[in-house]
A and B are shown apart, each in its own frame.
Chain A
Amino acid sequence: MAARQETVARVEAIDVDAYKYGFTTDIESEKAPKGLSEDIVRFISAKKNEPDWLTQWRLEAYRRWLTMREPDWARVHYPPIDYQDLYYYSAPKSTPGPKTIDDVDPELLRTYEKLGIPLREQEILAGVETRKVAVDAVFDSVSVATTFKEELAKAGVIFCPISEAVQTHPELVRQYLGSVVPVTDNYFATLNSAVYSDGSFVYVPKGVRCPMELSTYFRINEQKTGQFERTLIIADAGSYVSYLEGCTAPKRDENQLHAAVVELVALDDAEIKYSTVQNWYPGDSAGKGGIYNFVTKRGDCRGRNAHISWTQVETGSTITWKYPSCILRGDNSQGEFYSIAVSNGHQQVDSGTKMIHLGRNTKSRIVSKGISAGKSQNTYRGQVSAHRKAEGARNYTQCDSLLIGHDCGAHTVPYIESKNPSAQFEHEATTSKISEDQLFYAMQRGLSAEEATALIVNGFVRDVLQQLPMEFAVEAQKLISISLEGSVG
């Protein structure tokens, strides 16, 4: 009897439902009627008080979307999505554009506090933390607060919700919006173009090194809402910016759709470092609920010597469909992709990158670490291509997969296309399990099987963790060990 109880207790302890951000915030919200139509698109556009060109741009996207088919080439399976059964706009009612942080609904502040995201500037200044991070907090469809705006403005950096940028810097938005991910790009990006509600906008002027890390925190709260955010980052000639993105959602039984678009533009000599820690609700241990994360992220190295680096730690979402890419257009430009994708439970990950070499002497580097456990499927899908004029292009790709348990799968699908003899492409991939010897060694020194696994996994992903800003690296490391809880033994 006692033994049986112990077993029950142990099984409970290793429950994969250990998602600690699964609470909901009880806040009244204003929603658009359910479903999608031209009226909803106009409604969202009107809510944001958008100029006519943008409304038309959205409508064009919507009409295009109606003619498109949902992509089915990824190694993910899910029941058909009823696009008419979703809310495309949801905003906390009490925030008609808060002026200062004190105007923000205390319930919302508490939510972010619980998530560990500081929205009060003074707390950070008074605290022990020495590095400042400016945060744009997006709650369902709207941005609720952006911190350190003034300090950033002094440096000339524009960091605000994109809906605000449309009002204050329409010329920049009009010039760059959709210039990296065109309206017609793919099913989910086109849908996003039609109904996106908010997201961050960053402009770093010529020669400016952004004085602090910029960050957006996305939170889906409402039931049956899709979150469609749009991020646009422009680094003008010679500038530098590091941007972090984090996300969580409540535990809900039905699946929620998240279809974001991120566009990065790096001009001559500019550098953008984009880091993501993605921790959407992954569904419960039976595979019920969770976020569908169908995201289009692309960076355009438009100028000479431009440099774009993507770093991602993917632990959440029930389905991930995400390929942050670099278009290496400018001569000597560089693209990097560092990824850790952890899947457990019934998660399905199909993620990777594209490095499109167009300019001369362009370089790219891909390091992808996939860890699959439980009953999950984890696929790396990547493309590296060199076009005729990509003289001297170089790519190095390494993708390693680690399998924990025998019900999971790890897959590698690279497409390597070269049309230039001087392009040098190297690709390496391995799949293995944690070696018995390593486990034995660590356990012999007193670690439990789970601790030993965590230690080895940390070593496995170290190359990528090192690319993350420090605070994020710590968080990411914790996340990975939480995600893998229950996968050993």
Chain B
Amino acid sequence: MINLSNEADAVYAAQFETMRDSGAAQRRTDAYRAFAARGLPNRRVESWHYTDLKAALTKPAPLATTHSVTHALARTHDAVRLVMVDGKLRPDLSDLDTLPAGVRMQCLQEALASAGPTVTATLWPDNADDAAIALNGALMQNGLVVTVAPGAEAPRPLELITLVSGNEPQAVFTRSALIVGAGAHIRIIETHGVLDAGTEAASLAGAQLNHVLTMRLDADAKVDLLTNVAGFGETSVSVVSLIAHLDARARLNAHQLIEGGGLLRRQIFAALDGEHAHAAFNGVTLARARQHADTTLVVDHRQPHGESHERFRTILDGQAVGVFQGKIIVRSAAQKTDGVMQSKAILLSDGATMNNKPELEIFADDVKCGHGATCGRLDRDQLFYLMARGLPRGEAESLLLAAFANEAMAGIEDEALRDFFEARIGAWLTGRAGA
């Protein structure tokens, strides 16, 4: 009898051999060992309790190699674009010439070859102990290392696009880093998807994306981060991670829109490692059919006077499974921490499942921390009210659901970007009502 998990392990071992000499050999080897000691996480691993990656990846796809697709990408934002397709930077699709002053970009390979201590510390953070991230560290093919000079103020947002082409099942491992110098400010739009999204080829190909963005905010730096994961087919498996490290008075204002596809896990690890650091994480997850969408978040308060606010909304239809795991850690040094986390979910169908696990882990006494979680269906009274005023049921539902979801998007400061995200939510809801 073939042991399926061993089959997956063997594939990863072989893939590691091909990647071993692609820079940072020692780090890669350490990461591979850390992965191999644990294997792919399954339900017995507490932080993966609701998402069985091992069962989903019994057949790891081959590492992506083909990047021959010529394609024009529609422009959705007024932003400076950096595009990676199948784990490779595509200069033809990127705006390499118009990088704002003070912003420098290197490919991961280049960065690894000439890595200074800051780049190394950012690429290999200490606050994300996770097997999927370890696997990424062992197999990372490429990525973008973006450095923002101290005090720089980027006038246009930077759009980091990671795409998997949809012709054959393939695995893409990318790791990007963003280093924001003291007092600098930048807006980042992070888009993950498949090329030719929506086509039959894309939805059947079964992309396996494992992407990690590591981020370091020096003192007084500010980052607005918008993340959109969309378009992955029903057989795809994606893990999209963010690891952030905030120094004193740094501010990270993050919003994400996760549109389900196959099995999808968004994980965020944030360490507030300076006094008065401030992080906000907001998100909307939309999933239907047999999609499985997991958002897992760990906010680690390590220094006094930190603040973190999390607001998440999940809407589930069909047989979809939603997961929200949020953990606020307050270390004993982190007195005067203020942490609030909220997760709300609406189930639209009898077959949907929501698992909420908001956690507090607190070792300091002078703090104010709280979380709230709710789960239920649309409010019947509100629905009745709208329908009594002549709205058809589908429209009334969409209106209420949009209001519910947009609450988590209200903190996007850039109006055009907020409109873009709200429009995407609207489109998903319309698609649902029309189906």
Task: List residues of A whose CB falls within 8 A of some B CB.
Answer: 73, 388, 401, 403-433
Contact A427 B366 (CB under 8 A): no
Q: Given A416-B375, A432-B368, is A421 in contact with B349 using a C-beta cutoff of 8 Å?
A: yes
Contacts of B332 in A (CB 8 A): 406-407
Closest Cβ of chain B to A73, distance in Å, is: 7
Overall SS of chain B's interface: strand
Contact A409 B361 (CB under 8 A): yes
Besides A404-B365, A425-B376, 10 other CB < 8 A contacts? A401-B360, A406-B365, A411-B359, A414-B359, A416-B356, A417-B353, A418-B354, A426-B374, A427-B371, A431-B368
- B contacts with A, residue count (CB < 8 A): 35
B 318-348 contacts with A by CB, 8 A: 332, 335, 345, 347-348
Contacts of B353 in A (CB 8 A): 417-419
Contact A420 B357 (CB under 8 A): no
Q: Given A412-B359, A418-B347, A420-B350, is A433 in contact with B374 using a C-beta cutoff of 8 Å?
A: no
Q: Does B100 contact A (CB under 8 A)?
A: no
> What separation, in Å, do the CA atoms of A66 and B347 have in the docked complex?
43
Which partner residue on chain B sits nearest A403 by CB separation? B365
Q: Does B148 contact A (CB under 8 A)?
A: no
Closest Cβ of chain B to A429, distance in Å, is: 5
> What separation, in Å, do the CA atoms of A468 and B183 have in the docked complex?
57
> What separation, in Å, do the CA atoms of A122 and B99 have in the docked complex?
92
Contacts of A411 in B (CB 8 A): 359-362
Q: Given A430-B370, A431-B367, A431-B370, is A424 in contact with B360 using a C-beta cutoff of 8 Å?
A: no
Contact A408 B359 (CB under 8 A): no
Contacts of B369 in A (CB 8 A): 430-432
Q: Does B415 contact A (CB under 8 A)?
A: no
Contact B366 A417 (CB under 8 A): no
Contact A416 B350 (CB under 8 A): no
Q: Given A418-B347, A419-B353, A421-B377, is A408 in contact with B365 using a C-beta cutoff of 8 Å?
A: yes
The contact of A417 among B348, B355, B377, by CB within 8 Å, is: B355
Q: Given A388-B350, A406-B332, A431-B362, is A416 in contact with B367 using a C-beta cutoff of 8 Å?
A: no
> What separation, in Å, do the CA atoms of A409 and B359 have in the docked complex?
13
Contact B362 A409 (CB under 8 A): yes
Contacts of B362 in A (CB 8 A): 401, 403, 409-411, 431
Which partner residue on chain A sits nearest B329 by CB separation? A411
> What separation, in Å, do the CA atoms of A411 and B364 have in the docked complex?
11
> What separation, in Å, do the CA atoms of A73 and B345 have in the docked complex?
27
> What separation, in Å, do the CA atoms of A431 and B371 have in the docked complex?
9
Q: Given A73-B46, A432-B368, is A418 in contact with B360 using a C-beta cutoff of 8 Å?
A: no
> What separation, in Å, do the CA atoms of A414 and B370 have in the docked complex?
13
Q: Given A409-B362, A429-B371, is A421 in contact with B356 using a C-beta cutoff of 8 Å?
A: no
Contact A421 B365 (CB under 8 A): no
B 44-82 contacts with A by CB, 8 A: 46, 49
> What separation, in Å, do the CA atoms of A73 and B367 have in the docked complex?
26
Contact B357 A415 (CB under 8 A): yes
Closest Cβ of chain A to B146, distance in Å, is: 37
Q: Does B373 contact A (CB under 8 A)?
A: yes
Q: Does B384 contact A (CB under 8 A)?
A: no
Contact B358 A429 (CB under 8 A): yes
Which partner residue on chain A sits nearest B344 by CB separation? A426
Contacts of A406 in B (CB 8 A): 332, 335, 364-366
> What separation, in Å, do the CA atoms of A426 and B349 have in the docked complex?
19
Q: Given A417-B354, A423-B376, is A428 in contact with B370 using a C-beta cutoff of 8 Å?
A: yes
Q: Does B161 contact A (CB under 8 A)?
A: no
Closest Cβ of chain B to A404, distance in Å, is: 7
| Residue interface bits B134-166, CB-to-A below 8 A is 1, else 0 | 000000000000000000000000000000000
Contact B360 A410 (CB under 8 A): yes
**27 interchain pairs (CB within 8 A)?**
A401-B362, A403-B364, A405-B365, A406-B332, A409-B361, A411-B361, A412-B359, A412-B360, A415-B49, A416-B357, A416-B373, A417-B356, A418-B375, A419-B353, A422-B376, A423-B376, A424-B374, A424-B376, A426-B373, A427-B373, A428-B371, A429-B358, A429-B372, A431-B360, A431-B362, A431-B367, A431-B369
> What separation, in Å, do the CA atoms of A279 and B55 have in the docked complex?
45
Closest Cβ of chain A to B368, distance in Å, is: 6
Q: Given A408-B365, A421-B377, A432-B368, is A427 in contact with B350 using a C-beta cutoff of 8 Å?
A: no
The contact of B355 among A403, A416, A420, by CB within 8 Å, is: A416
Best-surrounded residue of B332, B349, B369 (most CB of chain A within 10 A) = B369
Closest Cβ of chain B to A433, distance in Å, is: 5
Contacts of B345 in A (CB 8 A): 418
Q: Does B352 contact A (CB under 8 A)?
A: yes
Contacts of B366 in A (CB 8 A): 406, 433
The 3 closest A-B pairs by CB, nearest first: A421-B347, A403-B365, A416-B356
Contacts of B372 in A (CB 8 A): 426-429
